[in-house]
Amino acid sequence: MIIGNAAMHKQIKQLLIFTTALTVTIPASAQEEDVVSDDIDDGINNCITLRNVRRTEVLDGRNVLYHMRGKTVYHNILPRECNGLAREKRFSYATTMGRLCDLDNITVLYPGPYGLSGGNSCQLGKFHRITREDAKALKEAPAVEPAANPLPMPPPQEVGVEEESAEPETN
């Protein structure tokens, strides 16, 4: 089958339009993904890009600092206490997308007879961008939790309960 010049030009034009649209769409979606993970101005991210992490710093069983390239610091507050994290101060993670997200888990690393071995796994929280001064203040904050002192109980008369009398009432 022989296609005329006009029909062939029309097909080539449609192919070029489709290819151009595809080329424009792919980088835009890739750029959106980077914007969502690293460049949101509210300072709270669901994910961080691992290639930008320079080092991590465990503050205690619920708080981890991620020091990024470009002097950015993210504070991750785990939803629950991670047993062993405060003592060991090291962890591992596994990811396939090159990003660490709030739904990912970290695993506390313990010393073993043949090197480090994994222990407790704990879910991450959201990543909060903080200043270097805030990070320094978090590191210097006292690690002692305030002691809870119970309130003294009031006498029964003050709460509306009468003391039982020794003699029963008669009608």
pLDDT digits (tens, 9 = 90+) for 94-103: 887 899 999 9
For 29-62, b/e burial (b = at least 16 CB within 10 A) is: eeeeeeeebbeeeeeebbbbbeebeeebebbbbb
Predicted confidence (pLDDT) per residue in 62-95, tens digit? 999 999 999 899 999 999 999 999 999 999 998 8
Predicted local distance difference test score (pLDDT) of residue 157: 75
Confidence band for 144, pLDDT divided at 50, 70 and 90: low
pLDDT tens-place string over residues 34-70: 444 444 457 899 999 999 999 999 999 999 999 999 9
Does the pTM of the predicted model rise above 0.75? no
Q: What tens digit of pLDDT does each residue of 146-164 get?
A: 677 777 877 777 666 555 5
* Maximum Cα interatomic distance, the chain, rounded to a whole number of Å: 118
Confidence of residue 28 (pLDDT cuts 50, 70, 90): very low
pLDDT in the model for residue 135: 92
- The predicted pLDDT at position 146 comes to 62
